[in-house]
Amino acid sequence: MIDDLALILDTAREAGELARRLKGEGLETWSKTGGSPVTNADIAVDTLLRTRLGAARPDYGWLSEETADDPARLDKSRLFVVDPIDGTVAFLKGKPWWAVSVAVVENGKPVAGVVFAPELDETFTATAGGGAFLNSALITASAQDRVEDCRMLGDAPMFKHPAWREPWPPMHIETRNSIAYRMCLVADGRFDAALALNGKSEWDLAAADLICREARAVCTDHKGRGYAYNQTNTRLPSLVSAAPSLHPLILERVRHIDLPN
């Protein structure tokens, strides 16, 4: 795992610098099916990661947002799960909240993960059983044990919707474009929770899931179910990432919701 972490760390940093350089040169942008934006930098970073990591670990599988899925990965015990630029909207709008996210998944579980936010000079890393780190400093989730006054990452209007069974108490709510980066902010205690009641993909969560768990945060979907990776269907229903004492209190408020498949 240590060798894999060193490999994905070096490669993620190289990829992040490539993205910054291409952004400085001027981006080409188009829309994917479904309307989400993609840039030439997303594709270039994906190519760099796939080339470097594939050459170093030719026996590993590959799953990335910007690569056509190859079902051959399902037969691999280990694979890379990658989001070349998580937070493309922030990347396009000149905001710093985007990141390169790379995980090594073994038998359905992340065992090494890196989330690199180049414009913030923040590198989050973890290995299974080895703790979680920000720029080499050990991190841990907060001790927040109340929903009231917690620091929440999410969509502020969602919390004010009249359909909630019980109104949400006052919270300090902010958002960040990158899902992986949001989760890392929970891992290092700057925020107490991140909530998203819409579908995410394996590449959004894999690396940050491990970083959160190694920092003693809890990550599940809104029904309280943990995640399994390298599945045929790579879509995951939702995200509740929170400090350990806060997580069950959030689940009490959201687990009754049945989301569309």
The pLDDT tens digits of the residues spanning 250-260 come to 999 999 999 88
Report the pLDDT value the prediction gives residue 120, as an integer from 0 to 100. 97
- Domain span at 60: 2-138
- Cα 260 to Cα 36: distance, rounded to the nearest angstrom: 20
pLDDT at 177 over 80: yes
Report in angstroms the alpha-carbon separations of 166 from 132, 152, 256: 35, 17, 12
Do the domain assignments include residue 173?
A: yes
With a CB cutoff of 8 Å and minimum separation 6, the contacts of 3 are: none
Average pLDDT over residues 8-32: 96
SS3 state at 259 = coil
* Vertex 180: Cα angle to 197 and 225 (nearest 5): 45
6 falls in which pLDDT band (50, 70, 90)? very high
Do the domain assignments include residue 119?
A: yes
Assess whether 74 and 163 both reside in one domain: no
Q: Residue 212 carries which side chain, given as an amino acid letter? A: C
User: What would the two tokens of residue 240 be?
Assistant: 């509740």
pLDDT at 36 over 90: no
How many separate domains does the chain show? Answer: 2
State percent of the chain over pLDDT 90. Answer: 95
Assess whether 127 and 162 both reside in one domain: no
Query: How much is the mean pLDDT over the chain?
Result: 96
Identify the CATH number of the domain in which residue 202 sits: 3.40.190.80
Assess whether 155 and 128 both reside in one domain: no
Assess whether 18 and 134 both reside in one domain: yes
Picking from 79, 110, 138, the residue at the C-terminal end of a domain is: 138
- Read off φ and ψ for residue 82, nearest 5 degrees: -135, 135
34 falls in which pLDDT band (50, 70, 90)? confident
Helix ranges, the chain (H): 2-25, 40-56, 88-93, 156-159, 179-187, 202-214, 247-254
Nearest Cα to Cα of residue 256 among 141, 178, 165: 165
Average pLDDT over residues 66-90: 97
Average pLDDT over residues 87-98: 95
Q: Residue 151 carries which side chain, given as an amino acid letter? A: R
Assess whether 179 and 239 both reside in one domain: yes
pLDDT at 101 over 70: yes
pLDDT at 163 over 90: no
Assess whether 128 and 162 both reside in one domain: no
115 with 156: CB under 8 angstroms? no
The predicted-structure confidence for 116-162, as pLDDT tens digits, reads as follows 999 999 999 999 999 999 999 999 999 999 999 999 999 999 999 98
Report the pLDDT value the prediction gives residue 40, as an integer from 0 to 100. 96
Identify the CATH number of the domain in which residue 30 sits: 3.30.540.10
The predicted-structure confidence for 14-25, as pLDDT tens digits, reads as follows 999 999 999 999
Assess whether 157 and 100 both reside in one domain: no
State percent of the chain over pLDDT 70. Answer: 99
Do the domain assignments include residue 259?
A: no
pLDDT at 1 over 70: no
Nearest Cα to Cα of residue 254 among 221, 228, 226, 232: 221
Do the domain assignments include residue 144?
A: no
Do the domain assignments include residue 261?
A: no
Picking from 138, 173, 203, the residue at the C-terminal end of a domain is: 138
Assess whether 91 and 22 both reside in one domain: yes
Report in angstroms the alpha-carbon separations of 34 from 30, 38, 50, 174, 210: 12, 11, 24, 26, 29
